[in-house]
Amino acid sequence: MPLSGTIYERWRQSAEDTCHFRDQLSSCMTPKRLRILWLGQPLKKEPLTTLSGKSLRILNPGYGAPNRSPLLRRATMILNGKVQSNAEVLIDPEGFNWQAQRHDLDPAYAGVKLVVTWRGQKPDFESPEYVRMDQYWSDSLDAWRDENLILFQHMDTHDLPKTCHAPLKNLKDEALVELVRQGAVSRLWRIARAMETQMNEVDEETVLWNHLFRSMGYRLNQWPMHHLSKYVSRLREGLSQNSRTPVSALQRLQARLLGCGGFLNLASETLPCSSQSYYGKISKAWEKDMASMVDIQLPEAVWNNQGIRPANHPQRRLATLAHWLLTPAIDKTFIQWFETMDHPLEGQRSLLETLGKKQDPFWGRHWTLHGRRLEKPKALLGHVRINEIVLQTLFPWLLAHFSIRKDFARQQKVVRFFLLWPPSEDHTFLESTRRQLFGSDRYQWIQSSADQLGLLQIMHDFCGWSDGNCNQCLFRECAQMVYLQQGWILPGKNQGCASE
């Protein structure tokens, strides 16, 4: 296991031994745990089958309510061959709450189409469809958890200090940075190991495309993006280099992506004048391809556009992905980018040129198909999103790529550049995390994105599976040990790649 000699990794493994992830599932499946698993969907086979024998395919597992209730809204599924949009899903591990809590009489639950249970049985009274999930989870749950660490950031947060804040707030900056970066590198390696497992089943470029699509979905639209990533080869069919102009190939790709995403069912007269010409071209292109891709097409309701910035709208993200899909062998492009990078700032600038500053006459001046034309052109992708793609996708993928080839020198370079990558923008979850761990918003020590990710990793590895009183959490002992030994913990130690 990488970094097995670090203080952080030893305590993290001790925490897993004390309350192992898989043991938690078999012994006590709580609504919170089942909810996280359902939103992640680590399934070993599809479609599913309900307890009444109907086929079930999940297009979007739904979105949780702010109060963390067991009710998920705006789910999209295909139930017995019929698309169910804007459906509600009830998380009920034991499967007896529908009638026990009188949900059948509560108007708030009138939209529930599916009850997700762990080992429950379908009741003999009238109720929504039930699906029992214990038989469907993938055998590689641990790898799935490492691959989907971002899911565990969405936990209940408050500003009350944790019990580990006493030793942490007194740590010197050097010792604190060392501890947090150990957590960040642990995160990097674990995501890379999960990708490496995927690379044993499919080729490396397919794994890369899957994660690039998901990263463009950000938090709310990862699922529909993940669905489209499965069909990259079909989306590229017929787009030879002999096309008359690159723009025609680009528009055809954008038509396929937007059409498969369910965004081309518009009446052109409802669009602004600046959008009608472009929409006319891509809608005609989609008419030619629609019959061969009807099985890929998603209903527009599967996308969640609430609370997202215009620049993050899925229409614009899909149009940007079309530019990337025109790049042959994109995996080799990123490897070459990494090989020629001498400093993170240089790499950040070059990647912004490669990914974000593509020339697009329409999407360079529009947020959406319905949007007005912008006065000044905007980059298709900003530095904040590029930072997240690099940290969550490219660095782990490169680490997995070099790990398969036993290239230890380049593995060390990946980790070194990961630790030096410039910090991303601060946000409320990071601020809340600092207040919980330190008892105050201590941020002056943060010098890189790895410092920020390390804090989130602590919340995932320790706080995420404990209660609000920190019961059974081992991180306070870890922090106490670091505090007592901070005299000999120096920056730079225990960083990089472990010997195999």
Digit-coded pLDDT (tens) for 253-273: 999 999 999 999 888 888 999
Weakest-pLDDT range from 68-72, 420-424, 437-441, 445-449: 437-441
CB 442 within 8 A of CB 459: no
Per-residue pLDDT tens digits for 49-83: 898 889 998 888 888 765 567 888 889 998 988 88
End-to-end CA distance of the chain: 8
Average model confidence (pLDDT) for the chain?
Answer: 80
Q: Give the pLDDT score at 167.
A: 63
**Six-digit token string for 210:** 């899957």
> Residue 497's pLDDT is what?
41
**pLDDT given at position 345:** 83
Whether 15 has a pLDDT exceeding 70, the answer reads no
Distance of CA 467 to the CA centre of its chain: 24
Pairwise CA distance, residues 185 & 418, whole Å = 8
Q: What is the largest CA-CA distance in the chain?
A: 70
Q: Please determine, for residue 288, whether its predicted confidence score (pLDDT) is greater than 80.
A: yes
Q: pTM here?
A: 0.80
Q: What is the pLDDT of residues 209-227, one digit of tens each?
A: 999 999 998 778 888 999 9
Query: What tokens were used for 339?
Result: 């090989």
pLDDT at residue 4 greater than cutoff 80: no
Q: Is 77 helix (H, G, I), strand (E, B) or coil?
A: strand
343 — pLDDT class (breaks 50, 70, 90): confident
d(C-alpha 412, C-alpha 84), whole Å: 48
Tokens of 455: 């804090």
Q: Provide the token pair at 120.
A: 């429950």
Residues 6+ apart with CB under 8 A from 471: none
Give the separation between CA 306 and CA 220, rounded to whole angstroms.
9
For the chain, how are helix, strand and coil distributed in percent, rounded to 5? 55, 10, 40
% residues pLDDT > 70 (the chain): 76
Let me know: does 274 contact 372? Beta carbons within 8 Å: yes
pLDDT at position 70, please?
82
Instruction: Specify the pLDDT at position 42.
Output: 59
Range ranked top by mean pLDDT from 27-41, 129-143, 439-453, 465-479:
439-453
pLDDT of residue 2: 47
Please state, in angstroms and rounded to a whole number, the distance separating the CA atoms of residues 86 and 113. Answer: 10
How many other C-beta atoms can be found within 10 angstroms of the C-beta atom of residue 353? 10
Tell me which of 29-43, 125-139, 463-477, 478-492 is least confident. Answer: 478-492
- 334 vs 122, 189, 436, CA distance in Å? 50, 19, 37
pLDDT 10s digits, 86-132:
899 998 888 777 777 787 788 888 889 999 988 777 776 677 899 88
Counting every residue written for the chain, the total comes to 500
CB 250 within 8 A of CB 323: yes
Task: Check if the beta carbon of residue 179 is closer than 8 Å to that of residue 8.
Answer: yes
User: CB-side exposure of 69: number of CA atoms within 13 Å?
Assistant: 11
What pLDDT was estimated at residue 158? Answer: 45
Give CA–CA dist 495/182, Å, rounded: 7
Query: Number of C-alpha atoms within 13 angstroms, CB side, residue 442?
Result: 18
H/E stretch holding 118 reads none
Kindly give, in sequence order, each residue whose CB lies less than 8 Å from that of residue 387, ignoring residues fewer than 6 positions away.
348, 421, 422, 424, 449
**Looking at the predicted structure, is the pLDDT value of residue 160 above 60?**
no
Tokens 């225990």 belong to residue = 494
pLDDT confidence band for 243 (50 / 70 / 90): very low
